[in-house]
Structures are given as C-alpha cells and as structure tokens.
Chains A and B, each alone.
Chain A
Amino acid sequence: MGEWDLPLIWAGIIGIAVALYVILDGFDLGVGILFPFSRDEKERDQMIGSIAPFWDGNETWLVLGGVGLWVAFPPAYAAIMSALYLPVIVMLLALVFRGVAFEFRTVAETSKRYWNFAFAAGSALAAICQGVILGALIQGINVKDGGFAGSAFDWATPFALMCGLGVLAGYALLGATWLVMKTDGEVATRAKRHAKMLVLAVLGFMALVSLWTPLAFERIATRWFSTPNIYYLWPVPLLTAATAFALWRWLETGREIPPFIAAIVLFLLGYAGLVISVFPYLVPPSLTIWDTAASAASQRFMLIGTLPLLPIILGYVVFVYWIFRGKVRHGEGYHH
C-alpha cells in the first residue's frame, strides 16, 4: 500500500466515525434537548427508555473519533485540542453530567428533578459545544511550526456560536424524529410538532452557513464556485432542499420511520458540504491530512486491526438496535 494513501484512508475512517457519532449520539442528545418539554415523570421515563440501551455505544464513537485523530494524525489532535481547549472541556463535563444522569435519576427520589435538569442541560450544552468546535475548525486555527500558536479565545466568534445553535437545532431534529419513530402517545405527537419547527430552523441554519462561509472565507468560495467544481457541486443544496421537503411531507402524512431517515440524510448532506469546504485540510487553513499524518508504521498497525474490527462493531450496532426494536409505550420506563 502506498504511503500516500494511508492518510487518506485514515481521514476516511475518522470521517465515518465522526458521521456515525453525530447521527447516533445526535439523536440521543436531541432527546435530552427536548426533555424540558415533557409533562411528567412517565413521559420522561418513556423518552429516556427509548435511548437507554444505546447511549453508551453511541458515545463510544466520540472516543473513537478523538482517539482515531490522535492515532492517525497526532499533530492535528494536539493542535486542535489545544486551540479548542475550553469548548472541548466544557463539552466533556456536560457529557459527564448527562451520562451519569441516566443512572442517577433511576435511583434518585427527591433529587430526581435535579438529574432531569442535568440530563437536559448537559445534552444541550454538549450539542452547543460540538457546534462551536465545528465552527472554530471551519474558520481556521492559527498554527505555527506545526503547533497551535493562537490565543485561548480565538474560537469565540459569532460564526462559531451560530454553528453551536445550528447543531443544537440539528440534534433536536434528530431527537424529535427518533421520538416520532420510537414512542407513542403524547410524546410522539409533541415530537412531531417539534420536528416540523426544527426542520425549518435547521434549513435556516444550513442556509446561513452556506452563505456565511463563502463570503467570509476565500478558500471556501473558491472550492464551491470555481469551474469545474460548481458543475459537480450544485446538486448538494438542491438535494438538501428536497430532503427537507420530503421530511416535512412525511411528518404531515403521519409516517413514523421515514422522517428519521430523512433527518439523517439531511445531516449527511450538511456533513458532505462541510467536507467539500475544508478537504484536504484537517486543521484549516494550514495543515492537511498529509502534513499531520502519523508514521506509516503506526497508521498501518492500526489499520490492520481496524479494517476487520469496524464491520464487527457495525454488526454490534445493528444487533443492539434490532434487539431493542419497536416502540417504547407510554408508562414503560427505564428499569433494569
């Protein structure tokens, strides 16, 4: 295998891990974001029950993304984590709160409402931080001699904050369509109403990012609007609009599974758009995947295991979602 290909393969693997993370943890964070709209403990148990067997596995993709970045691109990992120090650590702490809330609220009695709050607030804060991290990466990191050379609050821009809110809305949409699919009764009905509003919000944020990035960042404008790129790329926004429309229609006609699929497709299209905007940079605007690749020996050692293990892991995912298929009814809770 040519050494030139290894970084590309690794970028692909990490890209897949991040996409899977965003979709999978996205919907369970989304359920947390929608948590405050629930009326009573039974509804909350039903909402949490729909994600309880999955959340730990979903969050493991975040670990794989982070560790994968470290394994395959150590200098990029070092630069990104140093540059985005605060949003990363706040995100982790938010995930700590919401992660323990799953278990704590089942044991808690009088303090249950605090853990309900921790679950909702932790989910929302983690989503916003992830959006800020994404925005900060798109806008670029100040790198000198291969290491981070900016200051601690470089990431704090209106654009990054806007991305934070966009991801919040996006995860909420994934969560709402998940609840439409996996629950019944009042929770599902409310989720359907939320999903409709959230589709509009997400479309709005996607439009905003699509306008903002080429205007603010020359390199992104060139990527999209120069010939011949534009001939290949024009279907991306069109497909996005069509998917959003289909999602809306399916919600209107009372379909339960297709809206969730459409929300996933919407995410993947947005993700593809971002990849098109920044590739081949891992730390825009200066470090590419080839600049930051780990030693070929390390990338190869890791690849030998990853190629057979990834399909097995995907098998686990399919298996656990299949075991816990079907709806969680009102009054069915979270117990073990």
Chain B
Amino acid sequence: MELDPILIARLQFAFTITFHIIFPAFTIGLSAYIATLLVMWVGTGQDRYQRLARFWTRIFAVSFAMGVVSGIVLSYQFGTNWSRFSVFAGNIVGPLIGYEVLTAFFLEATFLGIMLFGWGRVPRWLQVLSSIMVAIGTIISAFWVLAANSWMHTPTGHEIVDGVAMPLDWWAIVFNPSFPYRLAHMLNASFLTAGFVVLAVGARYWLSDRHPEQARIMIKMAVVLLAILAPLQLLIGDQHGLNTLKHQPIKIAAIEAHWDSDKPVDFHIFAWPNEAAQTNDWALSIPNAGSLVLTHKLNGLIIGLKDVAPQNRPPIKTVFFAFRIMLAIGFFMIAAALIGAWLLWRGMLLDTRWYLRIVSHSWWTGFVAVVAGWVTTESGRQPWVVQGMLRTADATSPNAASMVLSTLILFVIVYAIVFAMGIYYINRLIERGPQGRAVEPPEQGSGRRPLSSAHDAGREALARGS
C-alpha cells in the first residue's frame, strides 16, 4: 500500500496535539483552583485549605510536567512536519507563539519552582503569590495560543506577498474575529474540566468516608462554580457558533450535516451523513430547530455543503459526530451542575448518594468534551490549515512518508507509556489523599538557610496552622 505522507503527518499532529491539550485543559483550571485555596487559607487562617491546596499541587505537578514536555514537542513540530506552513504563516503565527514563550512560559516555570519547592523556604505571601502567578501564566499562555489558532480560522490584518502571509495590523491579527469567542470558550472549558475532576475526587472521598473535611470543601466549591460556568458555556458556545456561521459557514454546515442551502436547517440529534450521495442516509431530527438556533428564525436559511465543491468540504462525519459528543457532554454537565446546586440549596447535597456516585465517575467529561470540541473546530476548517489561504496538503515538510510514519510510531509508544503511567500515578496521589504533611518546618541547621523573613513567616504559619 502506498503511504500518504500528508495523512501520516496529519495523524502525527493530531495525536501529539490531542495528547498535549488534555493537560493544559486541566492545569489552567486547576492552577486557578489551587491559587483560590491558598488565598482562602491566608484569608481564613484555616489549615485545611492549605492541605487541600498542597494535595492538588502534587497532582498539578505531574500534569503540568506532562503538559510542558508534550508542548515542547509541538513547538518544534511546526518545523519538522509542517515546514511549508512555517514559512507561509511564520511571520504571523511565529511572533504570537514567541510572545507566549516570553510572557507566559518563563513566568510559569519560575513560579512553579517556588510553588512546588518553596514551602518552608519562602515567606507565605510569596508562596501564595507564586501560585497566583502560575495561574495567570497559564491564562496568558492560552491567550497567545488561541490568538494564533484563531487567526488560522479567521485570518485578518495581513497581506500575501510572494506566497507568504505578511503582517499589516497586529491588533487585527491578535483580536481576529473568532478570537474572543474561542478564548472564552476554551478558558471556561478548562475551568469546567478541572471543576468536574475536583467534584469527582471530593465525591469519591465522601462516599468512601475518607478525608470528609476536605471532601466537603471540594464538593461544595465545585458545585457552586460549575452551576455558574456550565450554563455560561452554553451561552458562549452559542455565540461562538454564530461567529463561526458568519466566518466559516461550511464548518457549520458540516456540524449540522446540512446539505442544501435552500432548505431550513433541521437539528439532527443523530444522523448518518453520506458524503458520496451528498445527503444523510437517515436522521433523527427536530425540524427547523437548526434554523432557530442559528438564525433565530424558524425558516432561516444558511449555506449548505453543496454550495462548495466536494474537495473544499471538511470531513463531514468527523465534524458532525465530534460536535454531538461535545454537545451531549455539555448538557450532561449543565444538568449535573444544576442538580448539584439545587441539592446544595436544599441542604441535601452531601446526603444524596446517587448524585455523588454519578459525579464521582464523571471526572473524564471535561477532557472528552475539550478534545471533541477541538476535533470539531480543527476538522471543520479542513481542507484548509489557514482558512481560505493555505491547504493542509500544501503545508507539509518534504519528508518521506516512511520517515514520518516511524516517528509517529515512536510518538505513540512513548506517549502511551507516559500517559498510562501519568494517569496511574495521578490516581495513586488521589488514593493517598490530602492528609499528608501539613506545613513542613523550615529546614533549620541545614545549609538550605531560609530567608530570615521566610523563617519568621514559616514559624508564624506553623503557629497558626496548629
């Protein structure tokens, strides 16, 4: 069989970036949670917040390490596998990623060192500040990456000179039309992902009667946060969809498996799109519901897939099903969050075991929704890598297919080991629970002399904590 180098390069990128996004999706939200807990610790003086923060910090450390190393791979993969993209878009996407490194990566790396190893060595305010800085760093990082990604979906502020995109207006490039929606959608997704993990772990502890004090904090904080953010995500997603309809109508047509421009859009709850016959083999639909959502009119018309030639259409099944997976999880999240909030309001949350049992198994929802969402938007942009300007097929490096295939196999092997062990270890940390060490005493008498102020602060923290 003849190997298709473009397909293998795409598989490789899809694999490495999917593996990568799992970790930022979790750590953006988790770092904000840890920072919040530490601020609450300082604000209330209650040691349980600090213990909980340090418990999650250990899990954060493992996840963050996996995110860092898989991210370094990506920063080089643009050159190794997508060199023609790198040349075409380098003048635009390059500086945005460059600013991510300068404004976020160094900030995160520096304060991560203190966040993880500063206990007993630095003053308490610096310990708390470090966790806040790490959380801010992850958000700044998301800002730049999503600016770059959004530009690839809705490019503005550039001109094409000699087949290369040249910047004209940086403000228009960064704040391109889809960027605010994408950023809000992703950040919120990350908070939801971390929120459901925290809720699941809290429920798991509560049900098995372990660490009840910490479990109570986790469950209540998560439920309140999710009850606000999960419905909000529906709103943001709706707005994002309208923005996509305006700028990438074919992506919407693929999401809805909508073929004919002259028909109102039904919302297919489920369907089997047939790309050869240019129709859906069968569909379970709500008539006109798609029109209502997308145009706010019962008979509103939008562009159908038949409006463009088949070679300019995205892979419809992928986009269609990935979107439905995301949507289904999204509605589950909203339901879980609202039921939880209602139970909390009625004072029954911690006694409703069936609810806690369900959410204790729902830790994975955010991850799957994030990946499904990214598959929807990235596959929906195909066959373009930069919408309307550069085809994915024209963006690769001149590498032999066999070469790309061998590195793909290497990536799969290495990532499978790292991922399996990472999940295993995170699970072990969760099993060990938050009852580990409280504040460690500053290491007196050793050569690692704490700063004198840190010394005092550490003692003060000890005195308060005990």
Closest residue of A by beta carbon distance from B94? A71
* Mask of A269-303 contacts with B, CB within 8 angstroms, 1/0: 00000000000000000000000001101100110
Partner pick for B399 among A72, A79, A85, A326, CB 8 A cutoff: A85
State whether A305 touches B102 (Cβ < 8 A): yes
State whether A152 touches B69 (Cβ < 8 A): no
State whether B421 touches A329 (Cβ < 8 A): no
* Mask of B94-125 contacts with A, CB within 8 angstroms, 1/0: 11011101110111111011101111011000
Closest residue of A by beta carbon distance from B115? A336
Residue B75 lies at the interface, judged by CB distance under 8 Å to chain A: yes
Contacting residues, chain B, for A93 (C-beta < 8 A): 73, 410-411, 414
State whether B422 touches A63 (Cβ < 8 A): no
Partner pick for B113 among A147, A310, A324, A329, CB 8 A cutoff: A324
State whether B117 touches A82 (Cβ < 8 A): no
- How many residue pairs bridge A and B at CB < 8 Å? 235
Partner pick for B75 among A67, A107, A326, A336, CB 8 A cutoff: A67
Contacting residues, chain A, for B70 (C-beta < 8 A): 96
- Minimum CB–CB distance from B78 to chain A (whole Å) comes to 7
Give Cα A79 to B90, complex, Å: 13
Q: A295-B166, A327-B448, A336-B61 are in contact. Are A60 and B101 (CB under 8 A)?
A: yes
State whether B400 touches A152 (Cβ < 8 A): yes
Contact residues, A30-77 vs B (CB, 8 A): 52-54, 56-57, 59-60, 62-64, 66-68, 70-72, 74-75, 77
State whether B397 touches A82 (Cβ < 8 A): yes
Give Cα A199 to B61, complex, Å: 36
Contacting residues, chain B, for A215 (C-beta < 8 A): none
B80-88, B202-210, B385-393: which lies at the interface: B80-88
A158-166, A230-238, A312-320: which lies at the interface: A312-320
- Minimum CB–CB distance from A301 to chain B (whole Å) comes to 5
Q: A53-B114, A63-B72, A74-B90 are in contact. Are A81 and B83 (CB under 8 A)?
A: yes
Give Cα A306 to B100, complex, Å: 11
Closest residue of B by beta carbon distance from A101? B65
State whether A81 touches B447 (Cβ < 8 A): no
State whether A336 touches B117 (Cβ < 8 A): yes
State whether A327 touches B86 (Cβ < 8 A): no
Residue B407 lies at the interface, judged by CB distance under 8 Å to chain A: yes
Q: A82-B83, A92-B73, A298-B167 are in contact. Are A108 and B425 (CB under 8 A)?
A: yes
State whether B425 touches A67 (Cβ < 8 A): no
State whether A82 touches B102 (Cβ < 8 A): no
Q: A66-B79, A100-B69, A302-B95 are in contact. Are A323 and B397 (CB under 8 A)?
A: no
Residue B345 lies at the interface, judged by CB distance under 8 Å to chain A: no
Residue A78 lies at the interface, judged by CB distance under 8 Å to chain B: yes
Give Cα A216 to B98, complex, Å: 36
- Minimum CB–CB distance from A335 to chain B (whole Å) comes to 8
- Minimum CB–CB distance from B386 to chain A (whole Å) comes to 14
* Mask of B425-451 contacts with A, CB within 8 angstroms, 1/0: 100110000000000000100111101
Residue from A56, A57, A88, A90 whose CB has the most chain B CB atoms within 10 Å:
A56
Name the prevailing secondary structure of the B interface residues.
helix
Partner pick for A60 among B94, B105, B167, B414, CB 8 A cutoff: B105
Closest residue of A by beta carbon distance from B399? A85
State whether A298 touches B106 (Cβ < 8 A): no
Residue B170 lies at the interface, judged by CB distance under 8 Å to chain A: yes
Contacting residues, chain B, for A89 (C-beta < 8 A): 76, 80, 407, 410-411
State whether B403 touches A152 (Cβ < 8 A): yes
Q: A320-B114, A336-B117 are in contact. Are A100 and B65 (CB under 8 A)?
A: yes
State whether A85 touches B425 (Cβ < 8 A): no
Contacting residues, chain A, for B446 (C-beta < 8 A): 329, 332
Partner pick for A316 among B73, B106, B428, B443, CB 8 A cutoff: B106
- Minimum CB–CB distance from A66 to chain B (whole Å) comes to 5
Contacting residues, chain A, for B65 (C-beta < 8 A): 56, 99-100, 102-103
Residue B216 lies at the interface, judged by CB distance under 8 Å to chain A: no
Q: A66-B76, A100-B69, A295-B91 are in contact. Are A336 and B83 (CB under 8 A)?
A: no
State whether A56 touches B113 (Cβ < 8 A): yes
Give Cα A86 to B406, complex, Å: 10
Closest residue of B by beta carbon distance from A53? B113
Contacting residues, chain A, for B90 (C-beta < 8 A): 70-71, 74, 77-78, 294, 298
Residue B418 lies at the interface, judged by CB distance under 8 Å to chain A: yes
State whether A56 touches B447 (Cβ < 8 A): no
State whether B83 touches A79 (Cβ < 8 A): yes
Residue A178 lies at the interface, judged by CB distance under 8 Å to chain B: no
State whether B76 touches A92 (Cβ < 8 A): yes
Contacting residues, chain B, for A18 (C-beta < 8 A): none
Contacting residues, chain A, for B61 (C-beta < 8 A): 103, 336
Residue A328 lies at the interface, judged by CB distance under 8 Å to chain B: yes
Residue A207 lies at the interface, judged by CB distance under 8 Å to chain B: no
Closest residue of A by beta carbon distance from B121? A323
Residue A227 lies at the interface, judged by CB distance under 8 Å to chain B: no
Give Cα A316 to B137, complex, Å: 13
Residue B58 lies at the interface, judged by CB distance under 8 Å to chain A: yes
Q: A59-B68, A86-B407, A298-B92 are in contact. Are A78 and B79 (CB under 8 A)?
A: yes
Contacting residues, chain B, for A327 (C-beta < 8 A): 447-448
Give Cα A77 to B97, complex, Å: 14
Give Cα A66 to B415, complex, Å: 22
Residue from B73, B113, B414 whose CB has the most chain A CB atoms within 10 Å:
B113
Q: A57-B110, A302-B95 are in contact. Are A326 and B76 (CB under 8 A)?
A: no
A and B contact pairs by CB, cutoff 8 A, 24 listed: A52-B116, A56-B112, A57-B109, A57-B110, A59-B109, A63-B71, A63-B75, A67-B75, A67-B94, A68-B98, A71-B94, A77-B79, A79-B83, A82-B397, A85-B80, A85-B403, A89-B410, A96-B70, A107-B58, A152-B403, A309-B102, A310-B102, A323-B121, A329-B448
Nearest first, the 9 closest Cβ-Cβ pairs linking A and B are A81-B79, A74-B90, A53-B113, A78-B83, A57-B109, A71-B94, A99-B69, A316-B110, A336-B116
Seen from chain B, the residues whose Cβ lies within 8 Å of a Cβ on chain A are 54, 57-58, 61-62, 65-66, 68-73, 75-76, 78-80, 83-84, 86-87, 90-92, 94-95, 97-99, 101-103, 105-110, 112-114, 116-119, 121-122, 161, 164, 166-168, 170, 397-400, 403, 407, 410-411, 414-415, 418, 421-422, 425, 428-429, 443, 446-449, 451
* Contacts A96-B418, A324-B448 known; 11 new A-B pairs at CB < 8 A: A60-B105, A63-B71, A89-B80, A100-B69, A104-B425, A107-B62, A107-B429, A305-B102, A305-B103, A326-B449, A332-B448
